[in-house]
């Protein structure tokens, strides 16, 4: 069973000047939305959450799991020595590089071809790349060849993961009730926290299963099986939701947006014909004659022919007509400063956030070292197990609670307030870590880092995902979301590639001070964004089109 559409346009109002209002055709759902708290989901919303949320679960799971996998490959390929720096960076940054491609490509495709035509293809790509990764022939080719193999497949994996950002955001927003739209998006994004948590828990469990083999029997090379199992486990939720994604129907809100786009294009075409007719009297007579024929044709078989035409053919023509001007409309929309500044705000805020967020989380070995869980001592199995425990502590303390603080408060506090305070509080705790990096004792360091993670997630890490999905109209939502997300991943790539070299040259505290600056600038750029709580961007866009039409006349 697929998720039922929840965004259907009502009958046209008598007063044509009234903006279009989108209501759900699920009357029971609407009544529930009026009485239930925003964070209490209905069955349909839970089902949509399961379908859309798996992409973010896999995103976080993959980003987390590559750190312990890289450590395991040290023992499998290099006898416990460190991986070559360039190849390690390639493997770790591969998914983020692919994400930028996927976010741009799938974002534009979702607006151009429709959600139904594209949704599910990104998950197929993730499955294909995961299978390719676990087929890495570590014993048959050179160690560097094995790392290159894994890095290439991770780029492909990243394309699929990146594509999930605009796809799931658009699919969820198109179906969300306005009063609980931000909550639903936050629930979907919170799967990142569970992906990291499950990844750390799975690492511990699989290592425990291999303890006798690696510790007692001394077969350290068997760690090759550990990392393949950990990577392969992500196939379970991927296959579990693939059918649901491929069979999800097109949202009514998207279909209505396409029809509205066609009406705008038709009006512009008529306007151009009138101008041409005024300039050329011959064309004027021809146009008038044609209009007279059309008028008299109301009593002729022409109407019968039109009514006999199948609805599916009509819909296909409307969609093709709307597609023609999509690229032109996209640039016309964002050529206005009031829209461009919002896109600039979503892109820059996400970019600055990911520099700090991924700079810390892709290099957790520095944090684990300060906490005493870096696995620098003991047997290979003990080292890997200790790293797993450290990651589990970090995830449980900061990641998951922060997401759910956002879920519980986003409809009350608003996106803008949460994002600004999240940036500023993250800057505060990053500043404490930077200033006291070498003097904080272990408990203080853990508490400070947990608060940092909490305010990343009860803040900009969640709202930068929600904002593009809520502030832009359906017609351009996926494209704008994909552009914003791609800017974020660009920040993650810069941070991942520059962190180690900067740390060696200027020291970790100085790098943390750079992250402090990113968070402060992120709070400043948030001021470009409007508050989107209870705001329907399609109604706003409809009003703008009417204003433009009046100005033209």
What string of DSSP letters covers 108-177?
HHHHHH-HHHHTTHHHHHHHHHHHHHHT--TTTS-HHHHHHHHHHHHHHHHHHHHHHHHHHHHHHHHH--
* Number of domains into which the chain is organized: 1
Answer whether residue 46 is part of any domain: yes
Question: Residue 499 above 50 pLDDT?
Answer: yes
Mean pLDDT of 22-43: 56
Q: What is the mean pLDDT of the chain?
A: 81
Question: Residue 537 above 50 pLDDT?
Answer: yes
CATH code for position 102? 1.20.1250.20
323-375 pLDDT, tens digit per residue, is: 556 778 888 899 999 999 999 999 999 999 999 998 887 666 666 766 667 66
Question: Residue 392 above 80 pLDDT?
Answer: yes
At 239 the pLDDT is 93
Return d(Cα 125, Cα 101) in angstroms, integer: 13
Question: Residue 378 above 90 pLDDT?
Answer: no
Answer whether residue 262 is part of any domain: no
Answer whether residue 268 is part of any domain: no
Q: Does the model's pTM come out above 0.85?
A: no
At 293 the pLDDT is 46
Answer whether residue 519 is part of any domain: yes
Domain that holds residue 414: 42-254+332-544
At 290 the pLDDT is 46
At 301 the pLDDT is 46
36-83 pLDDT, tens digit per residue, is: 777 788 888 888 898 999 988 988 898 778 888 888 888 888 887 888
What's the distance, Cα to Cα, between the start and end of the chain in Å? 48
Answer whether residue 274 is part of any domain: no
Question: Residue 297 above 60 pLDDT?
Answer: no
Mean pLDDT of 426-436: 93
256-290 pLDDT, tens digit per residue, is: 877 776 666 556 555 655 555 565 555 445 444 44
Question: Residue 298 above 60 pLDDT?
Answer: no
At 206 the pLDDT is 92
Answer whether residue 1 is part of any domain: no
Is 125 or 378 the better-scoring residue by pLDDT? Answer: 125
Answer whether residue 25 is part of any domain: no
Percentage of residues of the chain with pLDDT beyond 70: 78
CB-based contacts of 180-184 (< 8 A; 24+ apart in sequence):
180/33, 180/38, 180/39, 180/41, 180/45, 180/411, 181/470, 182/38, 182/410, 182/411, 182/415, 182/466, 182/470, 182/532, 182/533, 183/38, 183/39, 183/407, 183/410, 183/411, 184/41, 184/45, 184/48, 184/49
Return d(Cα 188, Cα 208) in angstroms, integer: 31
Answer whether residue 276 is part of any domain: no
């Amino acid at each position: 069973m697929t998720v039922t559409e929840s965004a259907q346009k009502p009958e046209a109002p008598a007063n044509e000047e009234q903006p279009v209002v989108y209501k759900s055709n699920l009357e029971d759902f609407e009544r529930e939305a009026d009485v239930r708290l925003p964070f209490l989901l209905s069955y349909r919303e839970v089902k949509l959450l399961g379908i859309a949320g798996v992409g973010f679960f896999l995103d976080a799971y993959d980003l987390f799991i590559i750190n312990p996998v890289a450590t395991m490959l040290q023992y499998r390929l290099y006898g416990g020595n460190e991986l070559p720096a360039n190849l390690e960076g390639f493997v770790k940054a591969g998914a983020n590089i692919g994400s930028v491609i996927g976010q741009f490509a799938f974002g534009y495709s979702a607006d151009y071809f429709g959600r139904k035509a594209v949704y599910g293809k990104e998950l197929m790509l993730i499955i294909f790349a995961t299978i390719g990764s676990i087929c890495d022939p570590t014993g048959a080719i050179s160690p560097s060849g094995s790392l290159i193999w894994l890095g290439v497949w991770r780029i492909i994996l990243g394309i699929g993961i990146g594509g999930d950002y605009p796809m799931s955001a658009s699919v969820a927003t198109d179906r969300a009730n306005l009063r609980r739209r931000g909550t639903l998006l936050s629930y979907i994004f919170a799967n990142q926290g569970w992906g990291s948590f499950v990844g750390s828990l799975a690492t511990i469990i699989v290592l425990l299963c291999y303890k006798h083999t690696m510790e007692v029997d001394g077969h350290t090379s068997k760690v090759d099986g550990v990392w393949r199992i950990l990577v392969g486990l992500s196939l379970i939720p991927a296959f579990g939701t693939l059918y649901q994604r491929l069979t999800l129907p097109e949202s009514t809100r998207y279909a209505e947006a396409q029809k509205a786009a066609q009406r705008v294009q038709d009006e512009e075409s008529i306007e151009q014909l009138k101008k041409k007719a005024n300039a050329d009297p011959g064309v004027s007579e021809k146009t008038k004659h044609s209009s007279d024929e059309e008028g008299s044709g109301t009593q002729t078989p022409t109407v019968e022919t039109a009514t006999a035409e199948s609805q599916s053919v009509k819909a296909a023509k409307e969609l093709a007509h709307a597609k023609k001007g999509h690229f032109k409309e996209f640039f016309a929309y964002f050529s206005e400063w009031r829209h461009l500044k919002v896109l600039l705000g979503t892109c820059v805020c996400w970019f600055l956030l990911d520099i700090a967020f991924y700079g810390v989380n892709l290099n957790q070995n520095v944090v684990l070292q300060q906490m005493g869980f870096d696995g620098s001592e003991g047997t290979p199995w003990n080292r890997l197990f200790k790293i797993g425990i450290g990651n589990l502590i970090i995830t449980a303390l900061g990641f998951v609670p922060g997401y759910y603080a956002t879920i519980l408060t986003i409809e009350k506090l608003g996106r803008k307030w949460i994002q600004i305070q999240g940036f500023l509080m993250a800057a505060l705790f990053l500043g404490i870590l930077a200033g006291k990096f070498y003097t904080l004792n272990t408990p203080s360091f853990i508490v400070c880092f947990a608060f940092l993670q909490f305010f990343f997630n009860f803040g900009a890490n969640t709202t930068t995902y929600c904002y593009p999905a809520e502030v832009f109209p359906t017609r351009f939502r996926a494209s704008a979301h994909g552009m914003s997300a791609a800017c974020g991943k660009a920040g993650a790539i810069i941070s991942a590639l520059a962190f180690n070299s900067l740390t060696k040259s200027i020291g970790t505290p100085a790098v943390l001070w750079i992250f402090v600056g990113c968070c402060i600038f992120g709070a400043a750029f948030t001021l470009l964004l409007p508050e989107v709580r209870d705001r329907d961007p399609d109604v706003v866009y409809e009003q703008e089109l009417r204003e433009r039409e009046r100005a033209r006349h």
